[in-house]
Amino acid sequence: MSELTRLTLAEARDGLGRGDFSAREITEAHLSAIEQARSLNMFITETPERALADAGAADERRARGEPLTLDGLPIAVKDLFCTDGILSTAASHILDGFVPPYESTVSAKLRDAGTVLLGKTNLDEFAMGSANVTSYYGEVENPWRARGDNRRRVPGGSSGGSAAAVAGRCALAAIGTDTGGSIRQPAAFCGIVGLKPTYGRCSRWGIIAFASSLDQAGPMTRTVRDAAIMLRHMAGHDPKDSTSAPREVPDFEAVIESGVRGMRIGIPKEYRVDGMSSELEALWQQGVNWLRAAGAEIVEVSLPHTRYALPTYYIIAPAEASSNLARYDGVRYGLRVEGNSVQEMYENTRGEGFGAEVRRRVLIGTYVLSAGYYDAYYLKAQKVRARIAQDFARAYEKVDAILTPTAPTAAFPIGEKMDDPIAMYLNDVFTVPASLAGLPAISVPAGLSGEGLPLGLQLIGRAFDEEGVLRAARVLEEAAEFTALPTMLGGSV
Amino acid sequence: MATLQGRTGEWEMVIGLEVHAQIVSNAKLFSGASTAFGAEPNSQVSLVDAAMPGMLPVINGYCVEQAVRTGLGLKAEINLVSVFDRKNYFYPDLPQGYQISQYSRPIVGKGKLLIDLPDGAVKEIGITRLHMEQDAGKSLHDQHPTKSYVDLNRSGVALMEIVSEPDLRGPEEATAYVTKLRSILRYLGTCDGNMDQGSLRCDVNLSVRRPGEPFGTRCEIKNVNSIRFIRQAIEYEARRQIEILEDGGTIDQETRLFDASRGETRSMRSKEEAHDYRYFPDPDLLPLELDQSWVDEIKATLPELPDEKKRRFVEDYGVPVYDAGVLVADRETADFFEVVARGRDGRLASNWVIGDLFGLLNKSGLAITESPITAEKLGGLLDLIADNTISGRIAKEVFEAMWETGKSAGDIVEEKGLRQITDTGAIETAIDEVLARESAKVEEYRSGKDKLFGFFVGQVMKATGGKANPKLVNEVLRKKLG
């Protein structure tokens, strides 16, 4: 592993600024890391030529004395973001050969800041999954393995490729999307930082939609500081997305060292779910202790509708998905499987084009929106969603942020939970409530399980208070001193 | 009330109309693409209209303004909060797989529209609602032996769906409703109303019942796209339903299609085959919230609408009610009339516009905006009549010359020497000549044949080339004939 790939995004930014190395050098180091880690299947499309060209341009700008803010920093982009002139697949067969003539707002902003695109990372098909096993392009392997257990493990999902790439030092940072936990859960599984911003903080324009009222782009990095840097360059109002918020983007990096003294941190009792492992419970308590030691006041809070969050999510998200995915019909782009009538062509195309999990969710979504079932399912789910948001609003009368575990377990072996969708859905039990309420939430690597696998803690903040979330996350990060390297990189086995 | 006679008695038609009116706007409802009619297929399609992955709709504020303006013109409630829903169904000319429409919370609520009935009565028709929605693209089935083509130029174009209450009772009322609605939309400038270009399309909901009984089962007839077809479709469908009922059958609630080439309706899909559109609020769009002050601003700029204009024409210009209705049917005619009538004899102006001018326009197939005689020039002609420069009869001749040449009335009168003779001496001379020539007839008149008076007038007018002032001719003749 090259020293250059071990740098954080902030360190690399500063090193490039000092002229310690060139954009081309750090890009080449990452391209070589990607090549070595190829068996983990992190990327659907690698873009080495484009990366080297971008890096060359960055070096030239720097030589002219006109560097951009993130000039020359190599990053990876989840293949749910449309990228101009580059295959964009959503990890689905149905988007075969789809090369968009446009660039998503978030990836365009990062591009305009000078970042170098290494490639498009693997994900669960249409971001539907929690283990990155539903991709048409094959599963992604987590760079971590358990101590004394050589089974390949899932990186979490749906942003599994991005999480694995950042953990495996194949990218300084990556961007993902989070609908019910798709940034935070894989971040926890891979031992990195993953931030889901407030709904509306980043534009959804050009992101292949899964569930429009929940989807949100966010950074996946190795440090809290890096997450702050990335978010600054991803966020902002976009007139092309009616749901993006017309709000100023703060300098997140400037506040992360402000600490938590005087901050009130809530501990929701409803998150002590049945069957939570004692080591996860201990880690959670450890997090409480760290924050208290740093001067925060710890307050028990109640989020009474928490237990309804998962079923609510699994009505709303599939409902929106069933409609959002209707456009993949074989008529205009992507896969078409011919038939003897339009009806048959639709059936053939969508039958072959979508994988089992996507088909399952389209069916669920179609069902819950059907005449006669709409009130019982979709409408009721919307009402519960409002209650869940209200729970948080009440809690934030007493506290400034809420601390919970990110996921109920550490990364599990590939192949497990495959035949039980409910067990798979339970991965999102701690992440889904913040998604339904549209709140910012971050996962910070906080320690290793008994098996030597990373575990994450989640901080959930008030709407548009990413600054508070990042401040508290930075305290956890500092206290946890999470320096362990993934097994793939010679970490302790 | 219009009723139909069946074999077993009288039947009444109950009709409600859904009119789809294309909003006048340069850009589509949720994308910046152009809406011009007649462009090359698929040349006016944005990434949003083609439903490319990751594309998002953004509401066109001008279309909202147009919908509000229309609602105000229909004296309707404006809902300050409305919601866009997705109507889900698969069809190749519907790229998103759903149409963005407004289902449970439309932008405009209850309103009303007045229609003129042939007997001179005015009837109020309820408007149930008006909502905004996207148009679909167009499927072309005749371009290839086995394939269909899709043109997405219309995809995403803004429509207003205007739904009436089931207040219409026959084809006359239905066509009067559409005509009046079209007139109001054109006044407002919110829809051009061109049915042949598809800017205004109509679905007819129709049932029949015995007078006084509750509503029967209705059928919806899709895509009835001209006033004539609306009449035909209603007449056919009412007869069809009556025949079924009189034979002891029942009406199936279904969607039917009007086949213009055969003048009949036929079944498209039954209630069982009806789509389940799975409406739900579009999560890509926030609820549409309007400020009352903004609505008030639009209200303040509304033009005078046909009903008010008609009342004013009757009151201010003394135009007969029926004529006023004709004059206000479209804004251009009303404006033309008003230029002619202002400061002049309104009734005379109306007669000239509706009678002489419409006659020539119709004969030449011209619109009033293309009239070779401008409103100002027609007014000039009326002035010459008013100040006795020419008689009404000469005016017809001048009018025709104006039509041919485009010249002003004054110029034509001068050129042709048509100025009326008001000089009593000249008229007396002409009369004396006529009386001397027709001495036998003068005797007959004097011995009691009063009817000959008209003959003498005619002879004098002939002798003066029609230019003698008829009133003076009458006076002098009476005096001379004693």
Closest Cα partner for B385 from B355, B349, B356?
B349
Average per-residue pLDDT for chain A: 96
How far, in Å, CA of B417 to CA of B340, rounded? 24
Averaged pLDDT, A179-201: 98
DSSP state of A235: B
Our CA-based measurement puts residue B146 at a distance from the nearest CA of chain A, in whole angstroms, of 10
Q: Which two tokens stand for residue B255?
A: 């969607």
- The predicted pLDDT at position A493 comes to 45
Our CA-based measurement puts residue B288 at a distance from the nearest CA of chain A, in whole angstroms, of 11
- The predicted pLDDT at position A492 comes to 54
Average per-residue pLDDT for chain B: 93
Compare CB distances from B97 to A320, A329, A378 and report the shortest one's residue: A329
Q: Which two tokens stand for residue A224?
A: 């809290």
Our CA-based measurement puts residue A67 at a distance from the nearest CA of chain B, in whole angstroms, of 31
Compare CB distances from A242 to B278, B280, B285 and report the shortest one's residue: B285
CB pairs under 8 A between A and B: 98
Is residue B35's pLDDT more than 70? yes
Averaged pLDDT, B352-360: 96
- The predicted pLDDT at position A1 comes to 58
Residues of B in contact with A209 (CB under 8 A): 53-54, 284
A208–B56 C-beta distance less than 8 A: no
Residues of B in contact with A240 (CB under 8 A): 56, 58
Interface with B, mutate which of A323, A348, A366, A368 (most B CBs under 10 A): A323
What is the CATH topology of the domain spanning B424-481? Answer: Arc Repressor Mutant, subunit A (1.10.10)
How far, in Å, CA of B42 to CA of B150, rounded? 8
Query: Each residue of B414-435: b (16+ CB within 10 Å) or e?
Result: eeeebebbeeeeebeebbeebb
Compare CB distances from A243 to B86, B150, B286 and report the shortest one's residue: B286
How far, in Å, CA of A195 to CA of A470, rounded? 9
Higher-scoring residue by pLDDT: A325, B472 = A325
Looking at chain A, which residue has its C-alpha nearest residue B86? A323
B47–A342 C-beta distance less than 8 A: no
- Which tens digits make up the pLDDT trace of A91-107? 999 999 999 999 999 99
Averaged pLDDT, A478-488: 95
A304 by Cβ neighbours in 10 Å (0-12 / 13-18 / 19+) ranks as middle
Q: List, by residue number, the catalytic residues of A.
A: 78, 158, 182
- Which tens digits make up the pLDDT trace of B425-472? 888 888 989 988 988 888 888 888 888 898 988 988 888 888 888 888
Interface residues from chain A to B (CB-CB < 8 Å): 81-82, 88, 90, 95, 98, 100-102, 104, 204-209, 211-213, 239-243, 319-320, 322-323, 325-327, 329, 331-333, 342, 346, 366, 369-371, 374, 378
Those residues whose C-beta lies under 8 Å from the C-beta of residue A479, and which sit 6 or more positions away, are A290, A293, A294
Residues of B in contact with A319 (CB under 8 A): 280
What is the CATH topology of the domain spanning A3-261+407-489? Answer: Amidase signature (AS) enzymes (3.90.1300)
- Among A419-433, B33-47, B370-384, the range scoring the smallest mean pLDDT is A419-433
- Which tens digits make up the pLDDT trace of B163-193? 999 999 999 999 999 999 999 999 999 999 9
The secondary structure element, H or E, covering residue A441 is strand A441-448
Compare CB distances from A323 to B59, B86, B148 and report the shortest one's residue: B86
- The predicted pLDDT at position B1 comes to 54
Is residue B420's pLDDT more than 70? yes
Is residue B208's pLDDT more than 80? yes
Is residue A165's pLDDT more than 70? yes
Sign of the CA dihedral running B177, B183, B184, B190: positive
A205–B280 C-beta distance less than 8 A: no
The pLDDT confidence band at residue A188, using thresholds 50, 70 and 90, is: very high
Averaged pLDDT, A336-344: 95
Looking at chain A, which residue has its C-alpha nearest residue B85? A323
Helix/strand/coil for A47: coil
Is B274 an interface residue toward A (CB < 8 Å)?
no
Looking at chain B, which residue has its C-alpha nearest residue A338? B147
Is residue A423's pLDDT more than 90? no
- The predicted pLDDT at position B446 comes to 87
Compare CB distances from B278 to A104, A213, A366 and report the shortest one's residue: A366
- Among A40-49, A113-122, A123-132, B114-123, the range scoring the smallest mean pLDDT is B114-123
Is residue B229's pLDDT more than 60? yes
Residues of B in contact with A342 (CB under 8 A): 91-92, 148
Looking at chain A, which residue has its C-alpha nearest residue B148? A342
Chain B, residues 149-168, CB within 8 A of chain A, namely: 150
Looking at chain B, which residue has its C-alpha nearest residue A333? B52
- Which tens digits make up the pLDDT trace of A354-413? 999 999 999 999 999 999 999 999 999 999 999 999 999 999 999 999 999 999 999 999
Our CA-based measurement puts residue A39 at a distance from the nearest CA of chain B, in whole angstroms, of 29
Is B117 an interface residue toward A (CB < 8 Å)?
no
Strand-pairing partners, residue A455, are: A447
CB atoms within 10 A of CB B174: 27
Looking at chain A, which residue has its C-alpha nearest residue B99? A323
| Domain spans of chain A, in order of start | 3-261+407-489
How far, in Å, CA of A182 to CA of A313, rounded? 13
Residues of B in contact with A91 (CB under 8 A): none
Our CA-based measurement puts residue B138 at a distance from the nearest CA of chain A, in whole angstroms, of 14
CB atoms within 10 A of CB B120: 9
SS (H, E, C) chain B: CCEEECCCCEEEEEEEEEEEEECCCCECCCCCCECCCCCCCCCCCCCCCCCCCCCCCCCCHHHHHHHHHHHHHCCCCECCEECCEEEECCCCCCCCCEEEECCCCCCECCEEEEEECCCCCEEEEEEEEEEEEECCCEEECCCCCCCCEEECCCCCCEEEEEEECCCECCHHHHHHHHHHHHHHHHHHCCCCCCHHHCCEEEEEEEEEECCCCCCCCCEEEEEECCHHHHHHHHHHHHHHHHHHHHCCCCCCCEEEEEECCCCEEEEEEECCCCCCCCCEECCCCCCEECCHHHHHHHHHCCCCCHHHHHHHHHHHHCCCHHHHHHHHCCHHHHHHHHHHHCCCCHHHHHHHHHHHHHHHHHHHCCCHHHCCCCHHHHHHHHHHHHCCCCCHHHHHHHHHHHHHHCCCHHHHHHHHCCCCECCHHHHHHHHHHHHHHCHHHHHHHHCCCCCHHHHHHHHHHHHCCCCECHHHHHHHHHHHHC
Our CA-based measurement puts residue A368 at a distance from the nearest CA of chain B, in whole angstroms, of 9
- The predicted pLDDT at position B56 comes to 98
| Domain spans of chain B, in order of start | 3-298, 303-416, 424-481
Our CA-based measurement puts residue A109 at a distance from the nearest CA of chain B, in whole angstroms, of 16
Residues of A in contact with B30 (CB under 8 A): none
Contact B14, B166 (CB under 8 A): yes
Residues of A in contact with B278 (CB under 8 A): 322-323, 366, 369-371, 374
Is B57 an interface residue toward A (CB < 8 Å)?
yes
